[in-house]
Structure formats: structure tokens, C-alpha cells
Amino acid sequence: MNIVRKIGEFPRNPTIITGFVPTMGALHEGHLSLIRMSAKENDRTVVSIFVNPTQFGPNEDFSRYPRPFEEDCRLAFECGADLIFAPDAEDIYSTNPTTVSVPYVTDQFEGQRRPGHFQGVATIVTKLFNIVAPTNSYFGEKDLQQCALVKKLVDDLNLPTNIRICETVREPDGLAMSSRNRYLSSKDRELAPMIYQVLARSKDLLLNGEDIESTLDLQAKALSERGFRVDYLALVDRLTMHPTQSIIDNASLIIAAYLSNTRLIDNIRVVG
């Protein structure tokens, strides 16, 4: 088992085609699909497991975030990982760390609701790219705004890695897999698939020419009536993560909603 814990011990090898899957651990089929894809497309696959403190807000779940490290390693190696990079926060961050911010794509939605989150993401992703030097890097479409951020980061800073976006993996009832689903009570777990049902229904209605605003209002209301606290349900251009008033190329529907204290996000492509 090849597990590296120190940046200085990371075996950089620019001659090997390297795929990279950054994660915060608590691996599920969504993560494993990225690892399998990387193993298929590269000579070496590196998986990082790092619960990044700087992307959690003060009232978020950093301390209780699940950390089943041994099980994660077993799963990652089983799915084709060659090396796991699991650094300590002290090795990653200096006392007054340099940070990276990606404007515009982070203006709204998760960026607005979770101050500091995307700066934490952009900074750790930049650092990990510099440490791992991957040929190809794998991200899940589940976190759509993160995908837009990473693509812009790599374009704007000319970072030498190809960004590969992989489809959202879902439970059989449609709920997008997430490490946070384990926080759901059994009652909330039963309700949770409604999020994807609403996305799919809204997509159909919009493609049938229904009015965007009233459709999204009605669908959000349907969720509220079942006990969800809807943060947003919006039609966006998934490259810019700004709202669009019409069904354009790259249109996606995005949603964030709470069930009790658990915040769930999901999205569906409407065009493309």
C-alpha cells in the first residue's frame, strides 16, 4: 500500500501519465467512479484524502466530517489507485498562507452562501496540482460550481493539467451520492430523492416551453410543502454559474435544499 503523508516525500514523476482524484475521503461510489476513470485513462492514479479545513465555514461540519481512512484506502486501491496522498493540515498550510480566489463563477449560489468556501477549494486544488503534477485531474459534476471554478482556475493560471468532469453517480432512487447523506435521518433519507425528481420534472417542463420563473417557483414550493428548506433552485449557464433567462447551450438546473440540518446540492443538465 503506497500511502504518502509528507509533501517532501511525494514521488513526482513527470514522465508517467498521472491521473489525480482529489477527495476529502469517506469514499462512496461517486468518488470510486472518478478513480476507476482515472485508472483507465492514465499509467498512474493518485488519490488525495484531505479534509481541507479552509473550505469549511465556522458553523459547518469540519470536526464531525467522517474520516474512515483505512476503509478509504482499501476502496481506493481496489478501484485502481496506485498512490494515496494524505497530508496533515500543518504540512499543507503555513501560518499566513497565500490564497487563490476565482472570481465571477463563484459570485452566486454556493459562493454566496458559504463565504470563504471556494477560496479554500481553489487554494487547496492549486497546491495539490503543484505537488502531484497530474496530467489529468478528475472532478464530479455533482459539485457543478466547483467544476466551473476548477476549469477557470486552470485556464486563467495556465496550470498544466487537463480537467476531466465525470457524471454524477446516484443511488437507485435518484439521490446523488454524497459523504453527507449519512447525516440524514431515516425519514429525511426517504424524502431526499425528491430533490432529483424535482430537477428532472423541472427540466421536462422547461424543455416543453413552460415559463422558467413560474415553473421553478412551483417546483420549489412542492419541496417546501414536503419539509425541505429550499435555498435555491435556478437555471444557470454551467460554465459561468450565472443565472440565465432562457434555455441556452450549457444550461443546467441547480438546487440546494436543507432537510433538517443537512444541506443537499444537486444539478441536472438541461442542454448539452
What is the distance, to the nearest Å, from the Cα of residue 178 to the centroid of all Cα atoms in its chain?
A: 9
Residues 6+ apart with CB under 8 A from 181: 171, 175, 189, 192, 262, 264
Region from 134-142, 189-197, 207-215, 237-245 binding ligand AMP, contact rule CB under 6 A: 134-142
Query: Smallest distance from the beta carbon of 6 to ligand AMP, in angstroms?
Result: 21
Query: Smallest distance from the beta carbon of 209 to ligand AMP, in angstroms?
Result: 30
Interface with ligand AMP includes 165 (CB under 6 A)? no
Tell me if residue 28 is catalytic: no
Interface with ligand AMP includes 142 (CB under 6 A)? yes
Give the nearer residue to ligand AMP in terms of CB position, either 165 or 222.
165
Positive or negative CA dihedral for 193, 150, 97, 82? positive
254 contacts 231 by C-beta, under 8 angstroms: no
Opening angle at CA 66, ends 61 and 68, nearest 5: 160
Report the C-alpha dihedral over residues 104, 178, 175, 189, rounded to 10 degrees: -120
Catalytic residue among 28, 31, 117, 242: 31
Kindly tell me which residue out of 169, 206, 253, 254 binds ligand AMP, with binding defined by CB under 6 A.
169
Q: What is the CB neighbour count within 10 angstroms for residue 211?
A: 11
176 contacts 199 by C-beta, under 8 angstroms: no
Q: What is the C-alpha separation between 39 and 79, in angstroms, rounded?
A: 8
Map residues 16-45 to x or -, x wherever contact with ligand AMP holds by CB under 6 A: -------xx-----xx-xx-----------
Give the nearer residue to ligand AMP in terms of CB position, either 110 or 143.
143
Range 179-238, binding ligand AMP (CB under 6 A): 179
Give the nearer residue to ligand AMP in terms of CB position, either 108 or 267.
267
What does the block give as the cell for 161? 493539467
Kindly tell me which residue out of 48, 106, 136, 168 binds ligand AMP, with binding defined by CB under 6 A.
168
Region from 87-95, 122-130, 162-170, 202-210 binding ligand AMP, contact rule CB under 6 A: 162-170
Give the nearer residue to ligand AMP in terms of CB position, either 31 or 263.
31
Residues 6+ apart with CB under 8 A from 95: none
The catalytic residue positions are: 31
State the residues that interact with ligand AMP by CB under 6 A: 23-24, 30-31, 33-34, 139-140, 142-143, 166, 168-169, 176-179
